[in-house]
Amino acid sequence: MAQELFDRAAMCLKEQQPFVLYRKPNTTELIGVFQQTDEVHIVQDFTESGFVFAPFDLNSNAILLKMDTVLKGTFDSFDGEGVNTDSIIIDESHDKPRYLDIITKAIGQINEGRFNKVVLSRKIEVTNHENDLEIYKRLLNAYQKAFCYLWYHPKVGAWMGATPEILVKTNGSQFTTMSLAGTKSFIDLEEPNWSEKELHEQQLVTDYILDALKDEVVSIKSSQRESVRAGQLWHLRTEMKGTFAPNKFGSVLKALHPTPAVCGTPLLEAKDFILNNEMYDRSFYTGFLGELNIKSELARNRNRKNQENSAYRSVMKTSELFVNLRCMQLLKDKVAIYVGGGITGESSPESEWQETALKSNTMLRVLGDK
């Protein structure tokens, strides 16, 4: 039962022991990973196994939670109970001129040809006195299609999120990744009418991923671009699947992160602009998280003509990593919600501001007291 996981997590929060609770998209299984000590394990080269929590800037440390105890339970109530369905508007007018200025500056530099796209973001602080687990239950209730997590390490911090974006998923040497960009408000079931700006912005991400992976993979194929729903938003998505050479996972990961869905293109120029202009540390926002190099045994039945049936086992490593978006950092008596959007030469600063306000609603809706 999920209750056992919530109880154990509550105890860990009280006794300051690291853990993560998570549910993968479109599943009802809630997984809890509990590390026995409060040691901070730092990822060296992504060959480690455990639950990884990596920052946007890999010059800072990626943290690994050891899977000392793994508990599983079912959480299948998707009734949206306690979730605010209205758009919540909070007054952040003090931050608006600063944000519009950096967007205008970015557009200027794009028009001068310094880079093609940059993803800019901001942080919204909101008072919160509610218990983390109560908020997390509402998050699970609200976003069935997202990767919903609550991560805690007493020496690092606490984060929660409901992300729609897979960074990479692997099974042996097979992998799936995606380019997700372009944002519109979700209005009933109406498929959005995407503008040239959004199509272009998302295409930049697809082209970048195909190019970044070309020397790391044996094969790669992309799907048709489609509109996908994420909470009260629409995005454009292209899925890419393929095979990588044995033991290349670490380099695939480093080639992918950060994609222009969260950073920009060309990578170095865009990253430089972000680090010099956002004026705050993104920390784990737009980093990635999830299961890293988990051994899974596949029992198969070899059934050949005139041969004795013999069951054999093959051991495979699987990873399932998500981009840390639609997330917040849980602080004392407040939360910090992180939101951003892709800027291209066709962007309008005012619409980009509105887009981040829309995105902030993913977290605001599940907060109890504001």
Ligand X SMILES: C=C(O[C@@H]1C=C(C(=O)O)C=C[C@H]1O)C(=O)O
Site of interaction with ligand X (CB under 6 A): 119, 121, 165, 180-183, 235, 261-262, 325-326, 339-342, 359
Give the integer Cα–Cα distance in Å for 36 and 16: 11
For residue 359, the minimal CB distance to ligand X (Å) is 5
Query: Residue 79 Cβ, how far from ligand X at the closest point, in Å?
Result: 25
Contact in structure between 358 and 88 (CB atoms under 8 Å): no
φ, ψ (nearest 5 deg) of residue 110: -65, -45
Nearer to ligand X, 121 or 177 (CB): 121
Nearer to ligand X, 31 or 253 (CB): 253
Would you say 237 and 201 are in contact if contact means Cβ atoms under 8 Å apart?
A: no
Of 2 and 233, nearer to ligand X (C-beta) is 233
Cβ distance to ligand X smaller for residue 109 or 293: 109
| Residue 122 CB-half CA count within 13 A | 23
- Dihedral of CA atoms 357, 362, 366, 370 in degrees, nearest 10, equals -10
CB of 165 to ligand X, least distance (A): 5
DSSP letter assigned to residue 43? P
- Pick the closer one to ligand X by CB: 222 or 293: 222
Tokens of 1: 């039962």
Q: Which residue is nearest to ligand X (CB)?
A: 342
Least distance from ligand X to the Cβ atom of residue 339, Å: 5
Smallest gap from Cβ 332 to ligand X, in A, equals 24
CA angle 132, 137, 139 (to 5 degrees): 95
**Percent composition of the chain: helix, strand, coil (DSSP 3-state, to 5):** 25, 40, 35
Q: How far is the CB of 325 from ligand X (least distance, A)?
A: 4
Measured from the CB atom, is 182 or 287 closer to ligand X? 182
